[in-house]
Amino acid sequence: MQPVGHREWERPFPVRYLIVGEDEDGEELLLGRCAAVEGLFTDPAPPPREVLVLRGCAPGAAVGWLGPAEIVGRTASGFDAWWTLVDAEVLSVAPGADDSALVDVVIGAGVHPADWHRNADDPFVRFELVTRRGAVRATGRAVAGLAVDRPAADPLPLRLVGCEPAEPMRAALRKRRGPHPGYTELWSLDDTGRVMDRRAIGFDVEWTRPSVLGGALVDVLLTVEADGLPGSAARAVWRQWQAGPPRQAGSWRGFDAAGRHAWLMLALRSGRPLGPDRSGGEYHLPGADLRNASGLHCAIGEALLGPGSYYGWGLDALSDSLCGGFGLVPPFTLVWHDFAATEEELAADRDPATGLGYPEELARELERDGVTVVRA
């Protein structure tokens, strides 16, 4: 569905959002449009702090703050399960309780409930402590304190302000919580009418009232999953993108790590049309003053595809991008200027198992997939 035909209405304020669902054939269907949304940048309450112990790790893990991280459970069959850690910190590294040649890594963090189902005959063979950028900080055989029941996060309110429902949405609102429109997305439009963000919000309606903006419009209060919102770190990034896709190189540099991650997610969700994948050519990555891994990934997308472009936000996402669908596939050449400066700036993201810094791990991932990386 193209948003262009749905932007204009005879009101003194613009259409900023579209509510989009699916018809019976799975095609995109306009459900409504609205002028504003309240609550989009709300941060969910952090989960309670817990202490976990990753047991039976190889020596080399370091005490220190990790920030956003994950514990990944691996099975012999290749099934993975993820537990998301909030504001994680390695509190202590002690001799292993079961084997003095190994160490136990004590982690403090808020822990989100895992969304996974595992066959009892497919046990986990190892657990990895992984940073948001994909660096493995420790690997062990078990995690004490992980396998407990945790309540799901409370849903958050999202208010559609100045909403003009189409007939499928009007029918659903009359039912309040009817089955249609089922899968529902909120499309955010920039000043040019281009889709800036697509976000699944569901259709859990609390109430509908005449809009504060008057006319025949309505305000609709929904409740949405807490992890479905962009969060407060994205607000300034969205404001910058509101005028249209970035045209100036380095526009992301003024943001902190959380803001840069929000930039990458907006670059991914905006779905900039790139045309068929191409290959070949030489691209130049300025490696100085990147400050963090999110900055590195912002710079990579920009170097390969231009300002405001996306080419992965971590090692796994980078590997996905190299497989196609993002505008550029190997073989091509990446000249990484000031590579040593990137390594120094990101020295904290060093994999204790391999001793490699994150930039070197990323460069090797590129090379494995057919990219010629010139470390300049």
Task: Identify the three-state secondary structure at position 237.
Answer: helix
Q: Is residue 109 part of a domain?
A: yes
Is residue 151 domain-resident? no
What's the confidence (pLDDT) of residue 136?
87
In terms of DSSP bridges, do strands 124-131 and 136-140 run parallel, antiparallel, or are they unpaired? antiparallel
User: Taking Cα atoms as reference points, which of 280, 220, 284, 270 lies closest to residue 240?
Assistant: 270
Question: Quick check: helix, strand or coil at residue 46?
Answer: coil
Residue 220 lies in a domain: yes
| Residue 278 and residue 365 share a domain | yes
Encoding tokens for residue 125? 């063979």
pLDDT value of position 270: 84
Q: What is the DSSP letter of 92?
A: E
Tally of domains within the chain? 3
- Same domain? For 241 and 308 the reply is yes
Are 348 and 206 within one domain?
A: no
Q: Where are the alpha helices (DSSP H) in 20-166?
A: none
Q: Are residues 171 and 25 in the same domain?
A: yes
186 domain residue, yes or no: yes
Decide: 277 and 235 in contact? Cβ < 8 Å.
no
177 and 299 in a common domain: no
Instruction: Examine residue 337 and state whether it is found in any structural domain, yes or no.
Output: yes
User: Does any domain span residue 130?
Assistant: yes
Per the domain annotation, does 150 fall within a domain? Answer: no
In a domain, 277, yes or no: yes
Q: How far apart are CA 36 and CA 2, in angstroms?
A: 20
Integer Cα distance of 113 and 131 in angstroms: 18
Q: Which domain holds residue 109?
A: 49-144
Same domain, 285 and 316: yes
Taken in order 223, 242, 317, 362, is the CA torsion positive or negative?
Answer: negative
- Is there a contact between 318 and 325 (Cβ–Cβ < 8 Å)? no
Which of 111, 144, 177 is the endpoint of a domain? Answer: 144
CA distance 224 to 207: 14
Residue 69 and residue 109 in contact, taking contact as beta carbons nearer than 8 Å? yes
**Boundary (domain end) residue, out of 171, 198, 229:** 229
Dist CA 360 CA 40 (whole Å):
37
Nearest Cα residue to 362 out of 321, 325, 305:
321
Distance CA 349, CA 352 (A): 9
What is the structure's pLDDT at 353?
A: 64
Question: pLDDT means per 10 residues in the chain (376 residues)?
Answer: 81 95 88 96 93 94 90 87 93 93 97 68 88 85 91 91 93 67 88 92 92 95 90 96 93 94 93 80 96 95 95 92 94 98 87 81 96 97
| CA distances for 110 relative to 42, 265, 370, angstroms | 18, 22, 39
242 and 367 belong to one structural domain: yes
User: What is the model's pLDDT at position 272?
Assistant: 66
Q: Are residues 63 and 22 in the same domain?
A: no
Residue 150: the pLDDT is: 87
Dihedrals φ, ψ of 65, to 5°? Answer: -80, 135
* Residue 181, Cβ density class (10 Å: 0-12 exposed, 13-18 middle, ≥19 buried): buried
Give the CATH number of the domain where residue 242 resides: 3.30.370.10
Which residue among 144, 175, 196 closes a domain?
Answer: 144
Contact 251, 240 (CB under 8 A): yes
CATH code, domain with 197:
2.30.110
Give the pLDDT of residue 280: 97
Q: What is the pLDDT of residue 179?
A: 44
Give the pLDDT confidence score for residue 116 in this predicted structure: 60
Residues 249 and 352 in one domain: yes
As a whole number of angstroms, the distance between CA 375 and CA 363 comes to: 9
What's the one-letter identity of residue 133? R
246/356 same-domain check: yes
Query: Pick from 130, 129, 135, 70: which is nearest to 104 by CA?
Result: 129
Taking the C-alpha atoms of residue 272 and residue 261, their distance in angstroms, rounded to an integer, is 18
Instruction: Mark whether 81 and 130 lie in a shared domain.
Output: yes
170 plus 306 within the same structural domain: no
